[in-house]
Amino acid sequence: MELFANQVLAGIATGAIYACMALAVVMIYQAIDHLNFAQGEMAMFSTFMSWQMMQWGVPYWWAFILTVILSFAGGILIERLLFKPLAKAPVLTNVAGFIALFAIVNSVAGLIWDFTIKQYPTPFGSSPFLGSQLISTHQAGMVGVTLLLLAGLYFFFQFTRIGLAMRAAASLPESARLVGINTSWMIALGWGMAAAIGAIAGMLIAPVVFLEPNMMGGVLIYGFASAVLGGLSSPLGAVIGGFLVGVFENLAGTYIPGVGNELKLPIALALIITVLVVKPAGLFGRPIVKRV
Amino acid sequence: MTMMLNVKDLRAYYGQVQALHGLSFSLNEGSLTTLLGANGAGKTTTLRAICNMVRSTGAIEFEGKPIGNRSTENVVRLGIAHVPQGRGTFTNMTVEENLQLGAITRGDKKNIVADIERMYDHFPVLKQRHTQQAGTLSGGEQQMLAVARALMLRPRLMLLDEPSFGLAPLVVRDLFRILGKINREDKVTILVVEQNAQLALELADQAYVIETGRIVMSGNAKDVANNEDVRKSYLGY
């Protein structure tokens, strides 16, 4: 029983990583109806920027805030320069755009900062959290930041006018224009917010997985799995999905013989497929009620 | 009487197909005008062209200013509310959120709450359902919501695309009564496209008839209603 509890706890800790990434995935999916394959690379690049600032002597939290702001601006810039021209193009064109962005960001990061693994600091410390050996203060901090982020997003979308406008633009662009919403800028804003959330995720993940250009590969797949599990239309679902995937992955690794560490990633993929087959809207995705 | 909307030589295209062939008409401030015509005559296209939702040429002036080059959202921001065919309801949002979206461009935030209450006075059924997802409303209720959402803009001009479509006759009567009230009391100029010609001509003070993208008749609604051709083609007697 204690083993089970410990594994659940450890799962929640890793789940926080996925939850963070899933939030960014949901953000962009809400805005543009596509999954951004370059999301992880953008987050990695942001993390490198913050690392560079710290190398130059900027204190952690200043670097953190500056990176979030720069990433927000960078996300908007990417949308305006690369994806706005593709707005009316077929899905595959967009997918090609995402993959190109993935490759470019990855190589540019490698070019600037090379591919050696770097240590990345944590603001929360890495001592055992409340005496538990399985969860560190950093991981507890991540869980906290993820929940704060979720609360912030919830507030933004439910109680601010711009949040309402963004939701409207995402669900029915033509009607949104007819009430005077500039849908094109709402999409750009979605990109900016996704990039900023991705940056936060990256900076929190880096102390765990270490900093290098390929750090987000596995994480992004788990992020996708979490977002799909929770429902691509629901930030709350994404976060719960993240924790569930983390716990599920840990329990499977512990209790299913032969799974171990090596087979954890296929579990995420199996999860994506199972959810898509059984409950395509995800656990918390809002089914659209329609009266005919 | 001052001119609210002036359209000259409007031509509209869907890809290669031309849907409007040089349409000209104007709306007086405070008027309630109806645009009649058979299916495919170009009524919806005319409304869509005013809001720049379809490719068009020609001159469109709103309160004396050309608006032909403005994007849809910038046309709306001038105070032109468009209730589209199919109502354009945000079905996965609540009734109240739909109303708030109608006022999303307004700067006078403190009046919005009062305006929502005013809409609930016009359409009491919306108040009963204000926390409900708009997609669960009946067709008539959704049409009322669409009109209320458009009014939340505090528009100077309201364009309505077949508001009676798919509604029970009693509901249509009710809706048209409210439109007349809005036109008189709130001084909103209204252009309504309708298949239900009889009802539209009763309500309107001006009427235009279009056929295959051209205006074929215009004038006082009563005169148009008494015209023999119109009676035969649209009123059925």
Q: How many separate helices (H) and strands (E) can be counted in chain B?
A: 10, 10
The whole-angstrom separation of Cα B163 and Cα B148 is: 12
Domain containing A22 equals 2-278
Q: Do B101 and A174 touch (CB under 8 A)?
A: no
Q: How many CB pairs under 8 A join A and B?
A: 75
Query: Could you tell me if residue A175 is inside a domain?
Result: yes
- For residue A279, give the nearest of A221, A231, A220 by alpha carbon: A231
Chain A neighbors of B104, CB-CB under 8 A: 161, 164-165, 168, 179-181
Domain count, chain A: 1
CATH code of A113's domain: 1.10.3470
Chain A neighbors of B138, CB-CB under 8 A: 291
The whole-angstrom separation of Cα B28 and Cα B31 is: 5
Strands (DSSP E) contained in chain A are 128-129, 132-136
Query: Could you tell me if residue A284 is inside a domain?
Result: no
Per-residue pLDDT tens listing for chain B (237 residues)? 688 999 999 999 998 899 999 999 999 999 999 999 888 889 999 999 999 999 999 999 999 999 989 999 999 999 999 999 888 899 989 999 999 999 999 988 889 999 999 999 989 999 999 999 999 998 889 999 999 999 999 999 999 999 988 888 888 888 899 999 999 998 999 999 988 888 889 889 999 999 888 898 898 988 888 888 888 777 766
Q: Which residues of chain A have pLDDT under 70?
A: 131-133, 261, 286-292
Query: Could you tell me if residue A283 is inside a domain?
Result: no
Query: Could you tell me if residue A112 is inside a domain?
Result: yes
Query: Could you tell me if residue A288 is inside a domain?
Result: no
Summarize pLDDT for A73-93 with one digit per residue, the tens. Answer: 999 999 999 988 988 888 889
Q: Which of B52, B77, B92 to mutate to test the interface with A (most CBs of A within 10 A)?
A: B92
The reply to whether B97 touches chain A by the CB within 8 Å rule is: yes
Query: Could you tell me if residue A285 is inside a domain?
Result: no
Chain B neighbors of A178, CB-CB under 8 A: 51, 72, 76, 81-82, 84, 88
Give CA separation, B74 vs A183, B97, B105, in Å.
11, 21, 10
pLDDT the model gives residue B86: 85
The whole-angstrom separation of Cα B180 and Cα B160 is: 13
Query: Could you tell me if residue A235 is inside a domain?
Result: yes
pLDDT the model gives residue A292: 46
Which residue from B97, B102, B135 is facing A289, i.e. has the nearest CB?
Answer: B135
Chain A neighbors of B97, CB-CB under 8 A: 164
Nearest CA in chain B to A162: B104
ipTM: 0.90
Nearest CA in chain B to A171: B90
Which residue from A172, A183, A291 is facing B88, i.e. has the nearest CB?
Answer: A172
